Chain A
Amino acid sequence: MGNPAGVPVAATGSLFCAIRGPIMLITIGALGAIDHFGPYSFTQTWPAIIIVFGLLKLAEKVGGRQA
């Protein structure tokens, strides 16, 4: 995953860093949508934000090391 075809090694180091913001936005939006239209309230699902943030950090570390 650290070095997809066609992406130079120098760029991959910051790829995870760069997608962190968008992914967090999507996560918050999805949790809000589930709160409004789905079965679970935001009061129940908010830890998912921390989990996603952690996963992204982890991916950044692993990806960075591989690069």
Chain B
Amino acid sequence: MRRSIVGPLILIGVGVLFLLHNVYPEVPLGEMFGRYWPFLLILWGGLRLIEVLALASMSKPLPRSAVSGGEWVLVVFIFIIGSGIYAAHNYTGWFPDGRALRGLVVDFGEPFDYTVPAATQSCGKTPHLIIESFRGNARIVGGDSESIEVNGRKTIRAMQQRDADQADKQTPMELVASNGNQVIIRLNQDHVGDRLRVSHDLDITVPKGASVECHGRYGDFDVRGISGNVDIDSDNAGVRLQDIGGGVKVNVQKSDIVRAVDVRGTVDLRGHGQDVELENIQGQVSLEGAFTGQMQFRNLAQPLRLEGTQTELKVARTPGEIRLSPGDLVANNLVGPIQINARSRDIQISDFSQALDLTVDRGDIELRPSAGNMPKLEVRTRSGDIDLGLPPGARFDLKAQTDHGEVHNEFGAPLATSEVGDGASISGSAGNGPSLRLQTDRGSVTVRKSNASDGDEPSAAPAAPAPPTRQKGPKPAALPPSAPTSA
């Protein structure tokens, strides 16, 4: 009996997806499935249709039904799981109340633009501004006045001008002062029916001492130059903050970017999104959730705590920078203790001190501790190569081991290598230094001399720092400029 090619294709597809997930765990496969499963059904149906038509044109006997009962069960599963994931990720789906929240790629109707009459509300020096349930973009800038000024435009998507005009009248902007220093901007976007969509584009000037609280559904927030706190809670937002005197709290369900520069308070970021950029933050930084794009942290004066689905990271101070992209963590100039726990990532850390506790499921590790202050190391990977560059003349007590793989001693004395079963180890100590423990279950271990050109303790490096020889030539290491060993 004839069998369709769709079954094997589905098997291959499922295999490829799982493989992709294992190799690149950061790729949001679940979310992609939730979003694109309808096209899977269309493809499936299309292939089946072509098969049936091909059989018919070759005058071969046709199957009684091209999609069997078992396959319909699979379709039902795809349907339920796919729409479940989609609903979870978009807080919408086919629940009736969710429809209004969606940022549609293709929208209906035509956009009609209206000017929002400028409004001013005097409020003293340190008002608390609240923007209620808002769709659209808001730019909030601190100024020298003692009042809140709002200008902007309103866009209404509607089928007809008449509907839009009416919706414009139904959605007046209100500035309401309450509770002493509180000012609420109410846009009444919900006052129109389901078929219309109202969004605002607002320019808001506030006194420098203001604090801001925004509840958004869809749209970007750009806040700069205020000395109070910023609290943003949105279903879908790009957030850009600059020069904020207070603390920052951002909670997004979806976001293309969250960027904060020059914040004097703490930064607390939660939710789901893509890129994150934090720079010059004086307070503690904590990040919780799934941010799948590029993450950059630069010049953080206080501890950073990151709890993601793939990576946990704690660093006491970050005078330099940390960059996380899907599959990599590259960091330079950190003050420990540092704790990293990652599932699948290549790790490269240079110029760090105090202590490093690093556990990686799968990934190559390259470490260049700072020359002056040798950190204590506790490094484990299940599968991956470890490459450690020690400053010449450093004091340490090293034990490195691989269960399956080779070790390369390019540091020389006092380290000695020995082979144990399928694996090997390097150990040795110089002076009375901190303990360095490296362990990989599968992979090579290399210990080499790092160039001490950036060493801040000349007495620690009596020997001329010679570039290390590379007889066995492990993988070419992309080294930071502070350790230019890659000749």
Contacts and interface: CB of A to CB of B under 8 A. Distances in A.
A42 B98 CA distance: 12
A11 B59 contact: yes
Contacts of A24: 45, 67
Given A18-B64, A36-B35, A26 B94 contact: no
B478 to A, nearest CB: 40
Interface in A19-33: 19-33
B56 A11 contact: yes
Contact of A29 (B45, B63, B65, B108): B45
A25 B60 CA distance: 23
A19 B49 contact: yes
Contacts of B83: 32, 42
B205 to A, nearest CB: 36
A53 to B, nearest CB: 13
Contacts of A30: 38, 42
Given A11-B62, A19-B49, A39 B108 contact: yes
Contacts, number: 113
Interface string A1-41: 00000111001101101111111111111111101111101
B52 A26 contact: no
A6 B53 CA distance: 12
Given A18-B64, A21-B66, A25-B75, A32 B48 contact: no
B476 interface: no
Where chain B touches its partner, the secondary structure class is helix
Q: How large is the interface on B (under 10, 10 to 19, 20 to 34, 35 or more residues)?
A: 35 or more
Contacts of B43: 29
Interface in B443-480: none
Q: Which of A11, A22, A38 has the most CB of B within 10 A?
A: A22
Contact of B46 (A15, A22, A38): A22
A21 B46 CA distance: 10
B67 A22 contact: yes
A22 B62 contact: no
B41 interface: yes
Contacts of A22: 44-49, 52, 66-67
B38 A21 contact: no
Given A25-B48, A39-B104, A19 B66 contact: yes
B46 to A, nearest CB: 6
Contacts of A11: 56, 59-62
Given A7-B56, A33-B38, A23 B45 contact: yes
B79 to A, nearest CB: 7
Where chain A touches its partner, the secondary structure class is helix
A29 B56 contact: no
B99 interface: yes
Contacts of A25: 41-42, 44-45, 48, 67, 75
Contacts of B96: 43
A24 B79 CA distance: 13
Nearest to B98: A41
Contacts of A6: 57, 59
Contacts of A41: 94, 99
Contacts of A8: 59
A8 B44 CA distance: 27
Contacts of A37: 104-106
Contact of B48 (A15, A21, A36): A21
B41 A29 contact: yes
Interface in B318-350: none
B38 A36 contact: yes
Contacts of A28: 38, 41, 75, 79
A7 B45 contact: no
Nearest to A38: B106
Interface in B41-93: 41-49, 52-53, 55-57, 59-67, 71-72, 75, 79, 82-83, 86, 93
A26 B41 contact: yes
Contacts of B40: 29
Given A32-B79, A36-B86, A39-B106, A18 B52 contact: yes
> Across chains A and B, which 6 residue pairs bring their CB atoms closest together, nearest first?
A21-B67, A32-B38, A25-B45, A29-B41, A29-B42, A26-B45
Interface of A: 6-8, 11-12, 14-15, 17-33, 35-39, 41-43
Given A19-B53, A21-B71, A22-B45, 18 more contacts: A7-B56, A7-B57, A11-B59, A12-B56, A15-B56, A18-B66, A22-B46, A22-B47, A26-B46, A27-B45, A29-B41, A30-B38, A35-B38, A38-B104, A38-B106, A39-B108, A43-B94, A43-B96
Interface of B: 35-49, 52-53, 55-57, 59-67, 71-72, 75, 79, 82-83, 86, 93-94, 96, 99, 104-108
12 contacts: A7-B57, A11-B56, A17-B64, A18-B56, A21-B67, A25-B45, A26-B46, A29-B40, A30-B42, A32-B37, A37-B104, A39-B106
